[in-house]
């Protein structure tokens, strides 16, 4: 035990190990923050909850920090609601009331917004209210948007209004309504107005509207093609990846160590059986078998982890461990233990295994990222956990959503960066530990 602590202390001598430890610390901090700030149920709701949750987020928006680059000034999503302005209510007699509201906003970006939509909510008994929408640009031009009768809850997707599109000279509405007449490639900056003229036909009936000007940036991570905030998946991917890697590596290396030690000590048929199983295992193609399990049985991440552990216990690690124990078995201190009458189990667990642990630590640390990547691989070919948001799943969504073809690079790069960070962090520490604990590497 003391050797292990001393070994870890020695890590500080290696710059790469310090860097790796820093990354691991960062990932652990992110994990803890995530689990506390966004509890599991909340994360699932944000990621799987259905359209209502992310309807007002822009589709395929870039992360908002891109705006710090010079010359980049992408619009953020603006949401204006009639509940925040004063509505002028004027009874017209005969039960009809005119409700008038003006939504005013400044548009200062030099790029057009992504989409435009209006969300109406109305309270009424039988007769649907009616609304008339007028768009006024900073230079005073007016565009009449569709006139509609409104049910209790209604989305008017201005961007998909084909009549309006035709009237604007076959431009998408979010471009045509903002375009500067002198320079049609740029939006006109200034104060826009949206005048809502509503008529309700019942006593106590009311009408509200939200104007959503979808931006091109959203949050720290952007959004995917379903408008979901990628931050949720990136954050929650961290604890999942770490738990998966750590747990898998721990169980695998400890179990294969014990099996190898038992095999070496008891020799004869125990050893032979273990050797045979390892040989069979060498022939079994790991990934195809995992894929088959994922396709035929269940895609649950924990079942996959179980299968991976079972498969990797009898991997090549058992051979290296066995070679190590074969040498150790002949050591004098084992002889001494035997002569004082120590039982077989005592020798295995008290003398063989503890001695081997320092040699095991580097491979344990290096195994963590390989498991993280294995999970990402499975998720990438569509065998990811059906519920949990993981990095591999984000990558898979991105690649099947055509992120590479359509130029949504952030969508690929963000999970890829985190995966790489995990990989490099753990491997750097693992290599440094290898140099510390492996006596042959020590001299150089």
Partner 1 sequence: MFSLVVGMYLTVFIAGMGGYVDKIQEAQIREQVGLQVLGDPAFKQLPPSEQRRIIDERVELERQRLGLDTPFIRRSVGYLVRALGLDLGRAKIITSDSGSKEVRLILLERLPSTLVLFSTANLLLFFATLFLGLYLSRRYGSIADRLSVALAPLSAAPGWFYGIILILIFAAMLKVLPFGGMVDAPPPDTTLGYALSVGKHMILPVLAMFVSGFFISVYSRRTFFLIFSSEDHVELGRAKGVPNRALERRYILRPTLPTIITQFALMLIVMWMGAIILETVFNWPGLGSLYYSAIQQFEIAVILGETVIYAYLLALTLFLLDIVYAIVDPRVKVGAGAPT
- Footprint on this chain of partner 1 (rule: CB under 8 A): 16, 20, 276, 279-289, 291-293, 295-297, 316, 369-370, 373, 376-377, 380-382, 395, 399, 404-405, 407, 409, 412-413, 416, 419-420, 423-428, 431, 440-441, 443-444
Shortest Cβ 406–partner 1 spacing (Å): 9
Shortest Cβ 58–partner 1 spacing (Å): 22
Between 14 and 236, CB nearer to partner 1: 14
Shortest Cβ 305–partner 1 spacing (Å): 17
Say if CB 211 and CB 192 are below 8 A apart.
Answer: no
Shortest Cβ 3–partner 1 spacing (Å): 21
Determine which helix (DSSP H) or strand (DSSP E) holds 152, and give its type and residue range. none
Between 164 and 428, CB nearer to partner 1: 428
Which residue in 343, 342, 304, 348 sits closest to 329, CA to CA?
Answer: 348
Helix/strand/coil for 93: strand
Which residue in 94, 65, 61, 89 sits closest to 77, CA to CA?
Answer: 61
Between 56 and 271, CB nearer to partner 1: 271
Structure tokens at 178: 């903002």
Between 198 and 222, CB nearer to partner 1: 222
Backbone region of residue 397 per phi and psi (left: phi > 0; alpha: psi in -120 to 50; beta: other values):
alpha
Between 52 and 443, CB nearer to partner 1: 443
Shortest Cβ 92–partner 1 spacing (Å): 58
**Beta bridge mates, 175:** none
Distance from C-alpha of 76 to C-alpha of 219, rounded to nearest angstrom: 9
Shortest Cβ 9–partner 1 spacing (Å): 21
- Other CB atoms closer than 10 Å to residue 345's CB: what's the count? 10
Structure tokens at 374: 């294995």
Between 35 and 424, CB nearer to partner 1: 424
Pinpoint the alpha helices (H) of 11-69: 15-37, 40-48, 51-54
- Other CB atoms closer than 10 Å to residue 354's CB: what's the count? 12
Which residue in 322, 353, 359, 357 sits closest to 440, CA to CA?
Answer: 359
CA 368 to chain centre: 19
Shortest Cβ 404–partner 1 spacing (Å): 5
């Amino acid at each position: 035990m003391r050797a292990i602590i001393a070994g870890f202390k020695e890590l500080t001598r290696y710059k790469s190990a310090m860097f790796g430890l820093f990354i691991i610390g960062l990932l652990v901090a992110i994990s803890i923050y995530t689990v506390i700030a966004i509890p599991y149920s909340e994360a699932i709701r944000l990621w799987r909850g259905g359209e209502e949750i992310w309807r007002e987020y822009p589709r395929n928006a870039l992360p908002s920090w891109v705006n710090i680059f010079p010359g980049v000034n992408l619009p953020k999503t603006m949401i204006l609601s009639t509940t925040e302005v004063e509505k002028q209510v004027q009874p017209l007699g005969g039960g009809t009331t005119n409700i008038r509201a003006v939504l005013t906003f400044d548009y200062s970006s030099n790029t057009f917004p992504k989409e435009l939509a209006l969300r109406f909510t109305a309270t009424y008994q039988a007769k649907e209210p009616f609304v008339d929408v007028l768009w006024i640009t900073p230079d005073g031009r007016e565009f009449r948007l569709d006139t509609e009768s409104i049910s209790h809850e209604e989305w008017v997707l201005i961007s998909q209004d084909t009549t309006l599109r035709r009237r604007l000279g076959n431009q998408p509405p979010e471009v045509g309504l903002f375009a500067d007449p002198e320079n049609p490639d740029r939006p006109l900056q200034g104060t826009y107005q949206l005048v809502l003229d509503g008529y309700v036909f019942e006593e106590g009936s009311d009408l509200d509207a939200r104007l959503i000007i979808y931006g091109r940036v959203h949050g720290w991570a952007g959004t995917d093609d379903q408008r979901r905030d990628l931050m949720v998946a990136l954050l929650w991917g961290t604890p999942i990846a770490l738990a998966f890697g750590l747990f898998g590596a721990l169980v695998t290396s400890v179990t294969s160590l014990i099996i190898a030690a038992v095999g070496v000590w008891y020799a004869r048929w125990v050893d032979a059986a273990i050797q045979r199983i390892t040989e069979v295992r060498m022939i079994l193609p790991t990934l195809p078998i995992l894929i088959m399990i994922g396709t035929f049985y269940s895609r649950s991440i924990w079942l996959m982890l179980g299968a991976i552990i079972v498969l990797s216990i009898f991997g090549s690690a058992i051979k290296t461990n066995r070679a190590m124990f074969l040498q150790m078995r002949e050591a004098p201190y084992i002889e001494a233990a035997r002569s004082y009458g120590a039982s077989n189990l005592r020798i295995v667990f008290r003398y063989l295994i503890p001695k081997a642990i320092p040699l095991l630590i580097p491979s344990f640390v290096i195994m963590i990222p390989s498991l993280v990547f294995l999970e990402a691989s499975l998720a990438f070919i569509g065998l990811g956990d059906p519920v949990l948001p993981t990095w591999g799943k984000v990558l898979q969504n991105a690649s099947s959503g055509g992120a590479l073809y359509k130029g949504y690079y952030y969508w690929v790069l963000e999970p890829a960066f985190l995966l790489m960070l995990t990989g490099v962090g753990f491997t750097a520490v693992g290599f440094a530990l290898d140099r510390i604990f492996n006596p042959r590497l020590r001299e150089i």
